Structure 1
Amino acid sequence: MPSALPEGDPAPADGSLPASVVEGADSRNFGVYVHVPYCRVRCGYCDFNTYTASELGGTTRDDYAAQVGGELALGAGVMRSAGLPERPVSTVFFGGGTPTLLPATDLACMLDRIRAEWGLAPGAEVTTEANPDSVDAEYLRTLADAGFTRVSFGMQSAVPSVLATLDRTHTPERVPLVTQWAREAGLQVSVDLIYGTPGETLTDWERSIDAALACEPDHISAYALIVERGTKLAAQIRRGEVAEPDEDLHAEMYELADARFAAAGFAWYEISNWSRTPETRSRHNLAYWTGEDWWAAGPGAHSHMGGVRWWNVKHPGAYAQRMHAGVSPAHSRETLTDEARREERILLETRIAEGLPTDVLTASERRAIPALIADGLIDGRAAISGRVIPTLRGRLLADTVVHRLIAT
């Protein structure tokens, strides 16, 4: 089942934001995330806030675009009332779930509402996630005509047995077709991979890497499988039906992926993400890692504005009730202290290729840098130039890097 919402302070019924969100807003980009919580089946490893048809409790997805449109209108009003400057949307991301279970016209309708409320910046990046078996060529052309610029396909693996363990519903043969259709429609293409599935060998993983590169994507994400509490996979491991992930094998798989992607002309820009050029990075995800502002619409979606973070009610039924009543769907929120924001910046910016400016660190924290260089965890030349940038070994031990910086 989906993970529980975090604890926080009650959110105002009208969704209003504190005056503090205005500070520095002129220097921050603004993006929009739309969560589409629907899935055809629940994958055994997934604890995202998603629901199959049998879990919707009588609600349907027929008027979901209208519900989200209502929240987007509310969001624009809340931002104006808070005194935030008018900012066109730099990036839009439809995630889930499987956004492409909705008709393409519904996604286009929600994008039109974003345009109407805030406007899109010139060259705005507009992405949707998609399962390979949830779209066809006509669907992708409709998205492109509506203003979408990217599609991120959940490929996960090219090995049927691995896909079966992950409960994925598409076949490996489907991925080359949908990526070709997307390119023909004029969309940039990203593919998502997962490594470390129980039973997956290094040879299996190499096969998936080769298949992904053969699709000639613009961007690749590769995530280590994490066994989340409460998932089907966690229960299978607990019962001894499948083996626990092997951390050493995970490291080998990451190193293999990084080497193969680099040889094919891709550069890493975040620990789990590689792009063919700087222009094909996911600017929306970079906004998360660099602390920009975003409004997130939909059940359980998490927004951030100037150090204030809030999250919506979780179930689609509760969300629909709020939207039909014309009240904010926000459930709880938190206002980060300056120190919490600084530590979060350390956590996130040590994950990206540009790294973390060393002047963000205290004098005590900076004293950890020589040992991190000596242990091969951060780049020595970059550190001398004033930035903490992880090496390949540092990417594999990212939590260690952060812990040693902030624990001094």
Structure 2
Amino acid sequence: MNTAGFDVFFLTMGAAMVLAMHAGFAFLEVGTVRKKNQVNALVRVITDFGFSTVAYFFVGFAVAYGINFFAPVSELNNLADLSNGYKMVHFFFLLTFAAAIPAIISGGVTERIRFWPNVLATVLLVGIIYPLFEGMIWNGNFGFQAWLESSFGAAFHDFAGSVVVHAMGGFLALGAVVLLGARKGRYSRSGRMMAILPSNIPFLALGSWILCVGWFGFNVMSAGTAEGASGLVAINSLLAMVGGLIAALIAGKNDPGFVHNGALAGLVAICAGSDIVHPIGALTIGAVAGVVFVFGFEFIQIKLKIDDVLGVIPLHGVCGAWGGIAAGIFGTVAMGGAGGVTFVSQLIGTVAGVAIAAAGGFVVYGVVKSTIGIRLSEEDEYMGADLAIHNISATPEQDMANH
């Protein structure tokens, strides 16, 4: 039986589910920012996806996998000796992962970043920086995985991108957020953090729910084929999500922002080992991630005074790194897992991803800042990015009535 067409359909549905997650990123950000920056959040997330598609199509996919699309359709339909245009839908699926990088970063830099410099950074990150590490881990480029396997008994295992996608996105955001500086009024002259309240908790919750649903496409469809799909990945994703939200509920003292992001923290952390850990291990991984997010958010904002608006550094960066390392603990046979992983390889692979992302973020945003600038003027920031950049607010009729 030829299953090629079914695999194409399977992966197309996965790509569509992850594409829908970008609506989740958008509404999570819209609900968290102030009303004067809601339109800008929506426009940046969707245009980042557009520019990511172009960058990944012409450059990034070739950097990671050595495949380009400069060939007749007859050849494109059978790239890598796979029929029914499988490699083209595989590109679509992996693109949605790549485009998650600027969507993650967006939550950290929102409310004060200039529009076109942000687009330039997106193109550089999705076209070059992210695919370099993606290719190292998921395509065996540069001999990194072979070295880990020969030296420590197993390659770095990251089934659905705890490190490749989430830790990369979170730690790329570190450079952007630090180089941008805090929003005006976030910290007093004495250094005390001042409250900037979210504009819409229901939108924030909607964003979280959309992401949670789409995540099952993100994780389960990472198998690549219908035959490879695993119920273990599904139940582990579910339990990690629940573990994260319950732990964040308790640690965050019923705060709705922590609860809804706690679910995402659990999902971030389970990506790497979702195909090998025991469901109880997944629940534990998610619960730890929920607590890590709550205390990590407070530490970064209050102690380090880094104005990471949505908490993407602790949520995606730190929880993603935890997920990479946790796969080397809970994925072992001794912990009830399927095996095939070693703690040392997981640790080295995670550290490598964090280091490349942190360096890449400072380099890319540093170059953009020093050449064309990345921050809105003080006047535009005070006015809000909606009016300053897009000449319209989220409630234009209401604004007209007020005038």
Compute the TM-score of the two structures, normalised by the length of structure 1.
Answer: 0.27
Greater RCO, CA 8 A, separation 6+ = 2
Structure with the larger helix share? 2
Compute the TM-score of the two structures, normalised by the length of structure 2.
Answer: 0.27
Structure with the larger strand share? 1
